[in-house]
Structure 1
Amino acid sequence: MVHQKWGLAAKIEGVENHAPSRVQPKSMHIEQSRPHACTALPSPVIPLFHRKQFATLSHTFFSPPSIPHPAQTQEGNPTYIPPIDSCTSPSPTSLSLLTMAFHSHALFSLLTLVFLIPTLTVTHAQLSENYYEQTCPKFHETVHHVVVEKQIATPTTAAAVLRLFFHDCVLEGCDASLLIASNSFNKAERDAEINAAIPGDGFDIITRIKTALELQCPGIVSCSDILAAAARNLINMVGGPHYTLLFGRKDGLVSRADRTEGHYAKASMTVSELINLFASINLSVQDLVALSGAHTIGFSHCSEFANRIFKFSPTSEIDPALNRIYAEGLRKLCANHTTNPGMSAFNDVMTPGKFDNLYFQNLQRGLGLLATDHALGTDPRTKPFVDLYATNQAKFFEDFAQAIQRVSLMNVKTGKQGEVRRRCDAFNDLKT
């Protein structure tokens, strides 16, 4: 039986029911302190979604988001694991089962998918798969343990880290510059308007991994390597492909909010603008579509698609390209989005917590949430790839893995080009 929260999805004409198993939503809170949602220190909290609001939303197939950037937490579980309080550790049994499942899926992916490492440049030649084998031998084990624990507790972590990783790499390169916190002398990248919606769970998990590694091998593992490894492991944990990563990145020395303009895709862009943006960082049209498949997990705030469901045109309140029932559900969800900007909807309405190719099938059925999503499914330059991935998940996984590998090597810093930060949110030397 489909949970009532997802009941509307089953009613959409021509759409098979891929709704996930029942999820019990919990009351969620936002901490006023910005960096993280979970802390042992007492702090005032602001209720974000009350149970009455959940009852109202239960007639739709949407769920509110996680800890906002750094200040939002979601404990509703769109994956297969029952929700666990995000400030407590999962039970040994659930952690053991997840670990076994994670290893099994990773092994299956490695046996069935072969992904080639991009051609190495001189800088990339200083990176290696086994970079920490001698200096921090438990690097991979530690990343894996923290990733599993955090994703069980807060299921939106995977999408948060994937977005954080991509946004970090396309500006200044994969150097963890997006992790830097602002100070009195500098407004950092993470406080730029376009990055304000990145959920705080993405920052939180990197801090947890860094803390654990500093206790084992202080001053050895860079924050940029931690971010790359966490993103890869989380993608695989929620059902996506496993791919090879090279390590040895150094953390960047610059992080400025005023440098972000023009580097990130926006929901208002045309396909031509998206293609040109990706071409500027040496990514192809196929890479654009494959990487857009990351929208198979995560959520978007109502403000990013409100123009499609409210006053779309003088002749139509709703974008006619949207499935009508889907659009009505979105209108109910986002009715108060101007007074409650935290209201959000899952990018993939059918399997929001699973990394699969349902996102592309949704585009063919009028279930693309963002205008850019819909445009990818209709533009003659991108539609062939959308149609290919909608019918061939293995090909989507292969192309996504190769594209994200290329992203992971963008403008990598090595040697004296960067540093290994003691804390991921601050340079080792204060910049004034």
Structure 2
Amino acid sequence: MKGFCLIIFVLAILGSVQGQLKMGFYSRSCPKAEKIIQDYVNQHIPRVPSLGAALIRMHFHDCFVRGCDGSVLLNSTSSSGNQTEKAATPNLTVTGFDFIDKLKSLLESACPGIVSCADIVALATRDTIVVTGGPSWRVPTGRRDGTVSIASEALSQIPAPFNNITTLQQSFANKSLDLKDLVLLSGAHTIGIARCPSFSNRLYNFSASSSTDPSLDSEYANTLRASKCRTPNDTTTLVEMDPGSRRTFDLSYYRLVLKRRGLFESDSALTKNSRTLRYINKILQGSLNNFYKEFGLAMEKMGRIDVKTGSSGEIRRNCAFVNS
């Protein structure tokens, strides 16, 4: 009986090990997988560098709902009547799906049924940020694709730009991320753009006592009203999160946050907690290379959220649809 129990224990350990992400997961099954992604990114991203911000947002939104399983890529289907994460308000402005589809097509041609859509998103995000001059980080692979995608889960689980620090802390804690991760990952806003509805409440009719959010620098608020979001109903204008430095992955976002010029309420929230404020000051006191290192560690940690490995999930043939 003891021998039998030992065998079961060893098998369980082996299963656990095999179920973990690892560097070079495709080194035997599809040796050129990572190079195919990198080459395509190197070829196309210099012409559309804005995809860097788009893909990092896609990766973030994917990982915060059912883990990093590519569920954000799934299309809604009329036959089932199911509205997928793509249809949720936070994802209506996510872009880059065509880019991921093209990468999937290339990988299916090279190695059919081997490389998951979830891994493609994780690898392409890192490679895109590197090409645009930003940090690199480790991307262990072996994720499998989920088969469930529900719009209401995206709406309730993806942190919102109007969240306060308490809500943000809880959202991140639910995914085993801490306040330091919150501050570091928010640094991606240095290359981001936003549409007016995500922050215009800070400019118009903010509260019964103030039309403008008092935590937003008044001069910056006036500029936004005068030259960007000129009406409360503007839904199309794009605004840089890091004015004047949007194409550079640097520390200026944090400087703006301390000047009360963070675009979102969630940016301002980082200054209203002693720990997050301390992390911001530490980042600014350090070097850009140190920030890159810390940001990379946070991205790798995020990329491990509730991943499906081993026999869980599937390897989708088409990223927009589950296998039939």
Q: Structure 2 length as normaliser, TM-score?
A: 0.89
Q: Which residue of 1 aligns with 2:97?
A: 203
Q: Which residue of 2 aligns with 1:180?
A: 74
Distance 1:417 1:193 in 2: 28
Q: Among 263, 273, 287, which residue is 2:167 paired with?
A: 273
> What displacement does 1:337 show?
5.3
Q: Which residue of 2 aligns with 1:215?
A: 109
- Tell me, yes or no, if the aligned pair for 2:20 and 2:142 is still in contact at 8 Å: yes
Distance 1:426 1:313 in 2: 43
Asked if 1:375 corresponds to 2:269, the answer is yes
Instruction: Please give the per-residue CA displacement for 1:55-99, whole angstroms capped at 9, x wherever unaligned.
Output: xxxxxxxxxxxxxxxxxxxxxxxxxxxxxxxxxxxxxxxxxxxxx
Q: Among 423, 426, 429, which residue is 2:318 paired with?
A: 423
Distance 2:18 2:279 in 1: 29
Distance 1:351 1:214 in 2: 37
Q: Which residue of 2 aligns with 1:363?
A: 257
Distance 2:20 2:30 in 1: 17
Distance 1:244 1:124 in 2: 19
**Other structure's SS at 2:194 match:** strand
Instruction: Please give the per-residue CA displacement for 1:237-294, whole angstroms capped at 9, x wherever unaligned.
Output: 2232211111111111111113224311112211011111111111111111111111
Distance change in 2, residues 1:237/1:377 (3 Å): farther
Any stretches of 5+ residues in structure 2 without a counterpart? 1-14
Asked if 1:396 corresponds to 2:314, the answer is no
- Tell me, yes or no, if the aligned pair for 1:146 and 1:208 is still in contact at 8 Å: no
**Other structure's SS at 1:300 match:** strand
Distance change in 2, residues 1:359/1:124 (3 Å): farther
Q: Which residue of 2 aligns with 1:232?
A: 126
Q: Which residue of 2 aligns with 1:93?
A: none
> What displacement does 1:128 show?
2.2
Q: CA RMSD for the aligned pairs?
A: 1.9
Matched AA of 1:166: F
Q: Which residue of 2 aligns with 1:122?
A: 16
Q: Among 308, 316, 324, which residue is 1:413 paired with?
A: 308
Distance change in 2, residues 1:125/1:218 (3 Å): closer
**Other structure's SS at 1:282 match:** coil
Asked if 1:345 corresponds to 2:264, the answer is no
- Tell me, yes or no, if the aligned pair for 1:337 and 1:343 is still in contact at 8 Å: no
> What displacement does 1:158 show?
0.6
Distance 1:177 1:156 in 2: 23
Q: Which has the higher contact order (CA 8 A, sep 6+)?
A: 2
Instruction: Please give the per-residue CA displacement for 1:129-161, whole angstroms capped at 9, x wherever unaligned.
Output: 112122222212211122123322222101111
Q: Structure 1 length as normaliser, TM-score?
A: 0.67
> What displacement does 1:406 show?
1.2
Q: Paired residues, what number?
A: 306
- Tell me, yes or no, if the aligned pair for 1:220 and 1:420 is still in contact at 8 Å: yes
Matched AA of 1:422: R
Matched AA of 1:410: I
Aligned-pair identity (%): 36
**Other structure's SS at 2:239 match:** strand
Instruction: Please give the per-residue CA displacement for 1:294-348, whole angstroms capped at 9, x wherever unaligned.
Output: 111111111111122223345544334433432222102111451x412121111
Distance 2:149 2:21 in 1: 23
> What displacement does 1:193 show?
1.5
> What displacement does 1:178 show?
0.6
Distance change in 2, residues 1:123/1:343 (3 Å): farther
> What displacement does 1:375 show?
1.9
Distance change in 2, residues 1:337/1:317 (3 Å): closer
Instruction: Please give the per-residue CA displacement for 1:356-390, whole angstroms capped at 9, x wherever unaligned.
Output: 11110111222211111012124323111111112
Q: Which residue of 2 aligns with 1:244?
A: 138
- Tell me, yes or no, if the aligned pair for 2:19 and 2:310 is still in contact at 8 Å: no
Q: Which residue of 1 aligns with 2:6?
A: none
- Tell me, yes or no, if the aligned pair for 2:225 and 2:231 is still in contact at 8 Å: no
> What displacement does 1:229 show?
0.2
Distance 2:306 2:43 in 1: 31
- Tell me, yes or no, if the aligned pair for 1:297 and 1:352 is still in contact at 8 Å: yes
Q: Which residue of 2 aligns with 1:312?
A: 206
Distance change in 2, residues 1:187/1:314 (3 Å): closer
Q: Among 81, 85, 89, which residue is 1:189 paired with?
A: 85
Question: After superposition, where does 1:90-129 map in structure 2 within 5 Å?
Answer: 122=16, 126-129=20-23
> What displacement does 1:125 show?
5.1
Any stretches of 5+ residues in structure 1 without a counterpart? 1-120
Distance 1:380 1:231 in 2: 31
